A = this chain, B = another copy of it.
Amino acid sequence: MKKLINDPRAVVNESVEGFGIAHADLVIVHPEPLFITRRDAPVQGKVGLVSGGGSGHEPLHAGFVGRGMLDAAVPGAVFTSPTPDQIIPATAAVDGGAGVLHIVKNYTGDVLNFETAAEMAEADGISVRSVLVNDDVAVEDSLYTAGRRGVGGTVLVERIAGAAAERGDDLDAVTAIAQRVVDGVRSMGVALAACTVPHAGVPSFELAEDEIEIGIGIHGEPGRHRIAMEGADGITQRLLDPIVADLSLTSGDRTIVMVNGMGGTPASELYIVFRKVAQLLGDLGVSIDRSLVGNYITALEMQGASLTILRADDEMLDLWDAPVHTAALRWGA
């Protein structure tokens, strides 16, 4: 294992410390227990947005703390959801009196820890709502799974709900639009090579030179199946088809599309994927109204990409365009 780290157990703390120094104009890092808030938190009268989860997905979540997006991010150990004793003070720190929305990716650990934290924050008199992101079409949402995973769609939920909170929507309204995004967003990922969790020290899985994993998540876990290596256009089709099917996208639909790198994929390759997505959606008569291409929700240095598509309406597009000023996403501010 070769990484630019010191001690595997210090990775999260040291990285967040560096992040806090680099973005001192935007955020405050609270070290013990660890969480990150926007510098001006709590914003009085504004619904607070808290997200979090295991580390290793940077820039998610800390990179999305700031105006028009999250009020707080709560990082756990690498690929391990944070604990209630982090989530509770983060929730309290961003409650400006209008309540707090927890944006939770659908993993057993995240759900249980946020659930506990929400209960205890409520007991402290804070109104807390939760929205569960479960956009990964690689996983069936059935009795035989823990439900679909939350992956790339999280970024879109955080942006759009963040904009709604910023314009002054109340807790119910922010929760409702967040849920609307969850309902309309789907993702699918592919890995060309695994990542190595620092404390594990060996790659999460082994792939032969001519194999790829389709339907991977963001935790270095193996995907749904392994196939022979293909060209980017073929792989893109494999990512797109199940999303189009699941969302029943048809001619005239408008979308926000994210082609996301898993951490070890050059931007040039992501644009090759985006090119094909644009072609294929164009063939279907589906328009791409906004897009993101880059590393937004990663799995350490994994080589691969994920595709996220949101069926967007006017309100979502307006909220998308509203000013956002975070370390990793910024426009209009």
The stretch among A112-120, A225-233, A240-248 that forms the contact with chain B is A225-233
Do A266 and B2 contact each other (CB < 8 Å), given the known contacts A22-B271, A278-B21, A293-B22? no
CB distance from A299 to the nearest CB of B (A): 9
Assess whether A271 is in contact with B16, with CB atoms less than 8 Å apart: yes
Assess whether B2 is in contact with A291, with CB atoms less than 8 Å apart: no
Do A232 and B6 contact each other (CB < 8 Å), given the known contacts A58-B267, A264-B264, A330-B331? yes
Stoichiometry, copies per complex = 2
Residues on B with beta carbons closer than 8 Å to the beta carbon of A272 = 4-6, 11, 14-15, 18
Q: Is A193 an interface residue (CB 8 A)?
A: yes
Query: Chain B CB within 10 Å — which of A11, A63, A235 has the most?
Result: A11
Return the chain B residue nearest A212 by Cβ. Answer: B2
Top 9 nearest A-B pairs by Cβ distance? Answer: A18-B275, A18-B271, A4-B269, A58-B267, A15-B268, A264-B264, A2-B192, A6-B231, A18-B274
A–B complex contacts, Cβ < 8 Å, 11 sampled: A2-B303, A4-B232, A4-B235, A4-B305, A11-B272, A15-B268, A15-B272, A18-B271, A58-B268, A58-B271, A267-B295
